[in-house]
Amino acid sequence: MAVVLQCGKCRHELIRETPTHSAVLTAHGEESQADPKPDGSKCSDVCQSSHWFLKDTAAPWISDLISKAEWTKGKLNCPNCDARIGSFDFVSTSKCACRSHVLPAVHFVKSKVDSKLQGTDLLAALKK
């Protein structure tokens, strides 16, 4: 699954997954294309209903912000229009619904970003 995430406000492209670069994680910190484990999949559904969990290497601008904050915590704003779209927190971790895993530190709020699969994004671009 190659996901493209765009700012919900200005439609600036925030993250683009490729077959060799995955960005989205499950609530258990696993790559989303990994086989969902029977015990973990339900939990991921709950946790991921409002958040996109991301690798700290999901995009260069995210890695930059994290290293500038010295791996503590901070807000993720759209690099284009500065809308607040998420946050990262390496200091106080929270646990997922099953209480046995720590949620990934970096996340976007789902209501603030638009998500597309890469194929449909291409079609939309062609229509413009």
Contact (Cβ atoms closer than 8 angstroms) between residue 14 and residue 20: no
State yes or no: residue 102 binds Zn ion (CB under 5 A).
Answer: no
State yes or no: residue 103 binds Zn ion (CB under 5 A).
Answer: no
State yes or no: residue 10 binds Zn ion (CB under 5 A).
Answer: yes
**Contact region with Zn ion (CB under 5 A), list: 50-58, 67-75, 86-94, 97-105:** 97-105
State the Cα–Cα distance between residues 68 and 63, nearest whole angstrom: 9
State yes or no: residue 96 binds Zn ion (CB under 5 A).
Answer: yes
Amino acid at 113: V
Q: Within positions 51 to 90, which residues make up the interface with Zn ion, using CB under 5 A?
A: 78, 80-81, 83
Nearest-approach distance from CB 76 to Zn ion, in angstroms: 11
DSSP H or E segment with residue 14: strand 13-16
Nearest-approach distance from CB 70 to Zn ion, in angstroms: 25
Residues of 102-121 as b/e, b for ≥16 C-beta within 10 angstroms?
ebbbbbbebebbebbeeeeb
Q: Within positions 26 to 45, which residues make up the interface with Zn ion, using CB under 5 A?
A: 43
Cα separations in angstroms, 20 against 1, 2, 31, 58, 77: 11, 10, 12, 12, 25
Nearest-approach distance from CB 83 to Zn ion, in angstroms: 5
Residues that bind Zn ion (CB under 5 A): 7, 9-10, 12, 43, 78, 80-81, 83, 96, 98, 101
